[in-house]
Amino acid sequence: MEHDIKKLIVILGPTASGKSDLAVEIALRLGSGQARKKYGINGAEIISADSRQVFKGMDIGSGKIA
């Protein structure tokens, strides 16, 4: 039986160090036609696990993406 193995990219670092910007850049590149042709990748999904970014009104001090 053949299984599709999913790859996972994890980006770790301190608050406001550019992790979210990097994640968006990687997702855009993995969603490009070139990545599809070269690696067979069909897009990417970003899942944020930063608990402080989910609270409404807590924009200062959370490094929330604008």
Q: Is residue 18 part of a domain?
A: yes
Q: Is residue 64 part of a domain?
A: no
CB distance 1 to 18 below 8 Å: no
Per-block average pLDDT, block size 10, for the chain (66 residues)? 77 86 90 84 79 61 58
Report the alpha-carbon distance of residue 25 to residue 40 in Å, rounded. 18
Q: Which domain holds residue 1?
A: 1-58
Structure tokens at 6: 């999913």
Q: Is residue 17 part of a domain?
A: yes
Per-residue pLDDT tens over the stretch 34-47: 888 888 887 788 88
The pLDDT value given to residue 22: 93
Q: Which pTM does this prediction carry?
A: 0.63
The pLDDT value given to residue 1: 57
Q: How many domains does the chain have?
A: 1
Q: Is residue 66 part of a domain?
A: no
Q: Is residue 63 part of a domain?
A: no
